Structure 1
Amino acid sequence: MNNETSEQLNEQREAAEQAAIEKRRERLKNESTRIIEIANNESYSALKCIHQLSVAGGATEATYVAIEQRIVVDQDPAGAYHLALLAQNTPDLPIDARQLIELVVNKGDNHQRLALLKNLPLPPVELIKEQILASDDGEAIGQMNAYLQINPEGYGSHHMLSSGQSDQIVPLSRGNSNN
């Protein structure tokens, strides 16, 4: 009788776990549909969508694709920066991180380019250098040179963290920090 009770408890636990998984899957599907709707209908909504995706804890592949398409249509370097970082940390996302990185390098400002340089595992150092030097922005050139002096290969923060140095992901907002 003890064996039967134990088996029944295991079956009930497995059924409850499966029900919880199905409930979460349904919630993510609903959130994905909502986020896709925003991406498809609101210009410059990529950051809003990425935030909601983060709050939801994930989404369908179609959601990532819709956000990427919104970024490309809007030529939104801030959205491109954040989705590129997300793609670098989650390699199986169905998006073209190279395209997003190029958008930031070519259309973004020097603050965004410097953030890419510091935060991508393997940033396109030469392209970023060219754009920053071409801008004649003395402050950005100084920051870039200082960073590349301690990190000539341009390995991003992931490399620096794993080598014992501390760094943090640089936010794009100009808030109260002086990055």
Structure 2
Amino acid sequence: MTNELKNSQATQIQEAEQAAIEKRRGHLKSESLRIIDIAASEPYSALKCIHQLSVAGGATEATYVAIEQRIVADQDAAGAYHLALLAQNTPDLPIDARQLIELVVNKGDNAQRLALLKNLPLPPVETIKAYILASDDGDAIGQMNAYLQINPEGYGSQHMLASGQADRIVPLSPNK
């Protein structure tokens, strides 16, 4: 009898765990559909969608694609920056991080370019350098030179943290 009771309890626990998993899947699917709808219908909603994705704790592949499409349609450098960082940390996302990085470099401001330089594992250093130097923004040039002086290869902050140097994730355009 005790074995039957133990087996029955084990089965109930497994069923409860499976029900919790199914409930979580249902919630993520529902949230994904809601986020996809926002991305499809609201211009410049990429940051809102990325925030909602974070709050939901994940999403379907279609959600990431919808957010990327919104970013490209709007040429949204801020959204591109955040989704590119997400893609760098989650390599199996179905998005083109290179396209997003190029959008930030080409359409973003110097604060966004500096943030890419500091936060991507392997940023396009020479391209970022060229854009910042061409801007004649003395403050941004100074920040870039100071950063590249301690990190001439331009390895992002993850490399610096791994090598024992202290750095922090840089906020993107604090006045926006």
User: Above 0.5 in TM-score?
Assistant: yes
> Which residue of structure 2 aligns with residue 110 of structure 1?
110
Q: Which amino acid aligns with 2:92?
A: D
How many residues align structurally? 175
- SS of 1:164's equivalent in the other structure is coil
1:60 aligns with 2:66: no
> Which residue of structure 1 aligns with residue 172 of structure 2?
172
Q: Which amino acid aligns with 1:46?
A: A
Q: Which amino acid aligns with 2:167?
A: D
> Which residue of structure 2 aligns with residue 37 of structure 1?
37
Q: Which amino acid aligns with 2:163?
A: S
Task: Give runs of aligned pairs for residues 1-179 of structure 1, distance below 5 A.
Answer: 1-174=1-174
CA displacement 1:3-56 (0-9 Å, x = unmatched): 111111110000000000000000000000000000000000000000000000
Matches of 1:9 and 1:157, distance apart in 2:
49
Deviation of the 1:173 alpha carbon: 3.7
CA displacement 1:75-104 (0-9 Å, x = unmatched): 000000000000000000000000000000
Deviation of the 1:174 alpha carbon: 1.4
Matches of 1:72 and 1:102, distance apart in 2:
11
Matches of 1:168 and 1:27, distance apart in 2:
33
Matches of 2:132 and 2:20, distance apart in 1:
50
Q: TM-score, normalised by structure 2?
A: 0.98
RMSD of aligned C-alpha atoms? 0.6
Matches of 1:15 and 1:174, distance apart in 2:
48
Matches of 1:167 and 1:2, distance apart in 2:
58
Q: Which amino acid aligns with 1:79?
A: G
Matches of 1:85 and 1:142, distance apart in 2:
24
Q: Which amino acid aligns with 1:108?
A: G
Q: Which runs of 5+ in 2 are unaligned?
A: none
Matches of 1:168 and 1:59, distance apart in 2:
27
Matches of 2:134 and 2:173, distance apart in 1:
23
